[in-house]
Structure 1
Amino acid sequence: MSNKTTYALGGVAVVVVALIVFALFRWNSGDGEIRNDGYGAAHDPAVSVALDSDGAIVLGKPGVTKTVELYEDPICPACGSLERIYGQEIAQQLDEGKIAVRYRLVNFLDEQSDSKDYSTRAIAANECVAQNGDGVVYSKFHEQLFTTKQPTEGSGDLSNTDLAAIATAAGAPADVAQCITTGARLESAGNHAEAALTALKAANDGKVATPSVFINGNKIDWNDQEWVLTAAK
């Protein structure tokens, strides 16, 4: 092999490594245009939340015909990216009654947390907040849990006391905090997470990937920056 060829291949290798490093940097930094930055969580009191019998958490105004089905794991970094980039835009569409969101929370990343059960405990906390029925409180809690308060996958965790404090700061009453700290919904959360995982596999050709977004059974590319507005049309 000539020296010129060696240098050329070396140059290509350097470029490839640089691109990989750049891609990892963008991923880890959650780089992306934040849509509707400054809007915050849903704040219209008419937005309600309900806990379905299968564990799905439905957030939106009564009578909304368009529902976005969103599968998330509480410790999933990409789920955090989705919420950081699109969460506020979703919140505005909820307030305007354009869409409802059906959250299906899964726990396949439990082992990536220090406690080995963080995802399940976070799902239980979501259920405690959701069953109270206040959509504004739930929206604030969910936003915090997936953005500024989200633990790092592979290291870090939140205790039940921490989760209860986040709920209280979002406006949840004392009985909700007690539900979280005592782990009252832990067993049901595990069962619901398993049901959601089964539903995700069925909808996603047997694959488990979060976040996954569906509208009327059709999977949506959440990297398309216009997907929320398209869903709301």
Structure 2
Amino acid sequence: MATSSRKQAAAALRRQREAEARRKRIVFGVAIGAAVLLVGGLLGVGIWMNREVDYEVNEPAAETTDTHAVKIGDGPVQIDLYIDYLCPACKEFEDTYAADLQRWIDDGSVTVNYHPIAILDRLSQGTRYSTRAGAAAVCAADTGQQEFLDYTLALYAAQPAENTRGLDDDELERIGTEDVGLGAAFEACVEDETYRGWLGESTASATNEQSVTGTPTAKVNGQLVDPAAFADSVETAIASAS
């Protein structure tokens, strides 16, 4: 498949997500609240499992923050999103707000600091899917900000069920190359496990320093916000900044 066709496919997927979001907002609040509480209750076990393996810590080529986030956009309103790619509630969040996030980024209203973390490794039968998927997403960010967003969208579209082995590394690479149009550098980054150590530091930073107790966690200008009211919180911040 040509790169242009892959880019078109990624754009089509974004449009599909925008249509789905209108429906999902109706039921989002109750589902997200229950899921975050469940994840928060199991957080300690997930962190313990993540510390069983030590990986070399490499700094991403992508622009990041000192709180282990991939920085997207350059607007005045600061959004921090803590996500785990195996987390069903994170998928719901992305399905609901992806189009809004893209619009705010494109019009220069916000900077979105994505914190990929791995608190659900225990739910992938020993394959550490959360770590592997998060590290692959950082590999995508090395190519570009839009590539990171498109890869995040594609990972959630292909999200495996909890308590399965998840997608293997070949599938994580295939999603990047075929669905998003990423190249050989991305494949090598995934194969070399380049950012698995960085994911471990991101998880430790989120839970120990940023007091994150579940995913998704959303902050707007440093203030914790209810994920169900995320869009309204951001719009209010944008209006105040203008």
How does the TM-score come out when normalised to structure 1?
0.70
In the alignment, structure 1 residue 79 sits paired with structure 2 residue 84: no
Residue 168 of structure 2 corresponds to 159
Distance in 1 (CA, whole Å) between partners of 2:238 and 2:124 is: 35
Amino acid at match of 2:215: T
Amino acid at match of 2:84: D
Residue 68 of structure 1 corresponds to 79
Amino acid at match of 1:122: A
1:47-196 matches, within 5 Å, as: 50-52=63-65, 54-61=67-74, 64-132=75-143, 134-146=144-156, 148-168=157-177, 169-196=179-206
Distance in 2 (CA, whole Å) between partners of 1:72 and 1:163 is: 17
Residue 24 of structure 2 corresponds to 32
Distance in 1 (CA, whole Å) between partners of 2:190 and 2:237 is: 33
Choose which of 205, 211, 226 in structure 1 pairs with 2:232: 226
Paired residues in the alignment total: 180
Choose which of 205, 214, 226 in structure 2 pairs with 1:209: 214
Residue 199 of structure 1 corresponds to 209
RMSD: 2.0
Q: Which has the higher contact order (CA 8 A, sep 6+)?
A: 2
Q: Sequence identity of aligned pairs in percent?
A: 27
Structure 1 position 197, deviation (Å): 2.3
Which segments of 5 or more consecutive residues in structure 1 lack a partner in the other structure?
Answer: 1-30, 35-48
2:116 and 2:134 in contact (8 A); partners too: yes
1:109 and 1:119 in contact (8 A); partners too: yes
Residue 16 of structure 1 corresponds to none
**Alpha carbons of 1:142 and 1:232: their partners in 2 closer, same or farther (altered >3 Å)?**
farther
2:220 and 2:234 in contact (8 A); partners too: no
Q: Whose helix proportion is higher, 1 or 2? A: 2
Structure 1 position 187, deviation (Å): 2.1
Q: Deviations over 1:200-227 (max 9, x none)?
A: 31xx5xxx11111111221111212534
Structure 1 position 229, deviation (Å): 2.9
2:82 and 2:218 in contact (8 A); partners too: yes
SS in 2 for 1:70: strand
Amino acid at match of 1:184: T
How does the TM-score come out when normalised to structure 2?
0.68
Which segments of 5 or more consecutive residues in structure 2 lack a partner in the other structure?
Answer: 1-22, 27-61
SS in 1 for 2:80: strand
**Alpha carbons of 1:173 and 1:232: their partners in 2 closer, same or farther (altered >3 Å)?**
farther
**Alpha carbons of 1:130 and 1:53: their partners in 2 closer, same or farther (altered >3 Å)?**
farther
Residue 28 of structure 1 corresponds to none
Pick the structure with greater CA Rg: 1
Distance in 1 (CA, whole Å) between partners of 2:73 and 2:64 is: 12
SS in 2 for 1:58: strand
SS in 1 for 2:205: helix
Amino acid at match of 2:88: P
